Amino acid sequence: MSSINKFISHIKEEKNDNFLLIAHERPDGDTISAVLSLRSMILSYKKKVHPASSQGVPEVFRFLDGWNHIKEDFLTGDFQTIVLVDNGDLKRTGYMSRIIAAKKSGATIVNIDHHPKNDIWKLANINIVDEKASSTCEIVYNIFKHAGMQISHQVATALLTGIYTDTGGFQHATTTAKTLEIASDLMSLGAKLKKISGNISNFKSVSMLKLWGIVLNRMVSRSDLGLIYSVITRGDIQKCQAKEEDLAGVVNLIATIPDERASLLLYELPNDKIKGSLRTENNEVDVSQIASLFGGGGHKRASGFEIDGRLRQTKDGWEVV
């Protein structure tokens, strides 16, 4: 029995009546959209569903139907099944200790993802993973089709949102013929591409643009490494009256500079940690290997990591202290 069949059978079992869906930390369009779509699917089986995100839902995705059902807290003991959606690794869930405790207490763990193999694989009872998929929403679309379930126009819009964001508006190399076929089908089912692009690509607040201006002004090109990088401090974010989520997308922008092999954005988190976001459009570069050197991971073209420390400006540039 395929993993998708196992998942569908698991949902249908009478004893499994309460499901927890978990998006990853610093949620993007793919994880939020996949969670909302799975919520709709499981609800259609007359089951209880609790979608969760440790950092809420970024404002940019609040045009999606049902976003307000995603909560930041829960009691793991209430659920027989925990579905980890687009998480990449266990730490990225934001609820690592709770999930491990729930597993030990007998909860079924389901992993739905398009990231490379990670520590969730061993923990999960069911792995629905396709590393070749453009996004987790592409996988969720296949689950709907496999189950023979109708996709509403609200779900179609959510699934297309996830695909749109994870492919950079269909610009990344992860965009395949199959991806475009799925996008076309979703549009025929009522997905609102104009609404999606209007809310995401054109969603730029004054605070966000000010913050991006600092990122762009601080860009440093290391031609010896083929790397362009920039930094943002907590003070910069506060000065612009911005949020951490306002940095989403800027690292992709600086990755478009010709002749650069990769881009890196380092920015301070509130807990004396520094987040590194890596991007590349170069087929010969695998930024996940760079991220792994710092305990992180992700995809070949988009990865990240966290390290302890703060950013400090010196006469020669910036350093981590």
**What pLDDT, in 10s, does the model give residues 28-58?**
999 999 999 999 999 999 999 999 999 999 9
pLDDT at 161: 98
pLDDT at 174: 87
Share of the chain above pLDDT 90, in %: 79
Are residues 310 and 319 in contact, defined by beta-carbon separation less than 8 angstroms?
A: no
- Considering the domain delimited by 206-320, tell me its CATH architecture: Roll (3.10)
Asked if the model's pLDDT at residue 1 lies above 70, the reply is: no
pLDDT at 116: 85
pLDDT at 120: 95
- Choose among 230, 186, 188: nearest CA to 212: 230
How far apart, in Å, are the Cα atoms of 90 and each of 83, 96, 124, 167, 241?
A: 12, 6, 10, 23, 31
pLDDT at 76: 85
- Average pLDDT for 146-151: 96
State the chain's mean pLDDT as an integer.
Answer: 93
101: three-class secondary structure by DSSP: helix
The pairs formed by 204-212 with CB atoms below 8 angstroms and a separation of 24 or more are 205/242, 205/246, 207/240, 207/241, 207/242, 207/243, 207/246, 208/242, 208/246, 210/240, 210/242, 211/236, 211/237, 211/240, 211/242, 211/246, 211/247, 211/250, 212/246, 212/250, 212/253
Domain definitions of the chain by residue range: 3-200, 206-320
Topology agreement, domain 3-200 and domain 206-320 = no
- Considering the domain delimited by 3-200, tell me its CATH architecture: Alpha-Beta Complex (3.90)
Tell me the per-residue pLDDT of 281-313, one tens digit each, with 9 for 90 and over: 888 899 999 999 999 888 888 899 999 999 999
- Average pLDDT for 103-129: 94
